[in-house]
Amino acid sequence: MAKNKFNKDWLNDHLNDPYVKMAQREGYRARAAYKLKEIDEQDRLIGPGMVVVDLGSTPGSWSQYTRNRLVEFGKKNPDTPDGKPFGTIVAIDILPMEEIADVTYLQGDFREEEVLRRFEALLPGNPEDGPRVDLVLSDMAPNLSGVSTADAARMGHLADLALEFAQAHLKPNGALLIKCFHGSGYSQIVESFKRVFKVVSPRKPKASRDKSAETFLLGKHLK
C-alpha cells in the first residue's frame, strides 16, 4: 500500500512538474536538460568551437542542450553552415540512444580500449598535439539500492571513472561536470576532484528537486 502511494505521489509530482512540462514543450527528452542549462548559464561552461563529451548520455537531453548552445554560437560564426553547431559533441553510453542531429553517438563502455580508440578517432584535430576535449559532462548515476554505504560506493566509483576519463582527455583548461549525491561518500568525491582540478564548485540548480540529495560537482583547470 505504501509503495503504491509512493508511486502515485511520484507520478503526480512528475506530471505537475513545470520542468517536465517545459521539456515536453521545448522538445527535450528529459527535464535534466534544465539542470545543465542553469549550470551553463552560471558558469559559462559551453563555449564556441568546443569539443564536448557526454558520458552516460542516454536518453540524450544533455546532448540536446549542448547542441542547441553550439548552434547559437554557429549563428555568429560565418564559417559554420546555417543551423549547424560550432563545435563537436560526442555522446557515449552502454545503453542505446535515439539519434540526435549533429551529435555523434558511440554505444559502448568507455572503459574499454576498443571503445576508447573509436572515440579518439571521432575527435577533431591531431592526437599528437595532446588532449582535444574541452568539456566532459556526466549525468551518470547508479541504480540506488537504499543501502547508503553500497550506494555511496557505487556513486564514488562512477565519479572516479569520470575523473579518470577527464584526466586522460581534457585540455589543461578543460572542465568536468558530474552528478553526485550528498551524504555518505560525498566528501571523498570532493577531495578526489580537488586533487585533480584547481577550481572545484558544488552546484544545486533549481531544476534539481529540493527533496533530492542530488547535487552536481564542477571541476575546472587541471592541476
**Residues with a known catalytic role:** 179
Looking from the CA of 197 toward its CB, the CA atoms found within 13 Å total 24
The secondary structure of 173-217, three-state, reads EEEEEEEEECCCCHHHHHHHHHHHEEEEEEECCCCCCCCCCEEEE
Residue 1's SS3 state is coil
Consult the annotation and say whether 109 binds a ligand.
yes
Consult the annotation and say whether 60 binds a ligand.
yes
What single string gives the DSSP state of each residue in 113-165?
HHHHHHHHHHSSS-GGG---EEEEEE---PPP-S-HHHHHHHHHHHHHHHHHH
Consult the annotation and say whether 134 binds a ligand.
no
Task: Tell me the backbone φ, ψ of residue 220, rounded to 5 degrees.
Answer: -130, 145
Q: Is the dihedral of CA 89, 156, 215, 60 positive or negative?
A: positive
Consult the annotation and say whether 10 binds a ligand.
no
Question: Is the Cβ–Cβ distance between 215 and 139 less than 8 Å?
Answer: no
Consult the annotation and say whether 93 binds a ligand.
yes
- Residues annotated within the binding site for S-adenosyl-L-methionine are 60, 62, 93, 109, 139
Binding site: residue ranges? 60, 62, 93, 109, 139
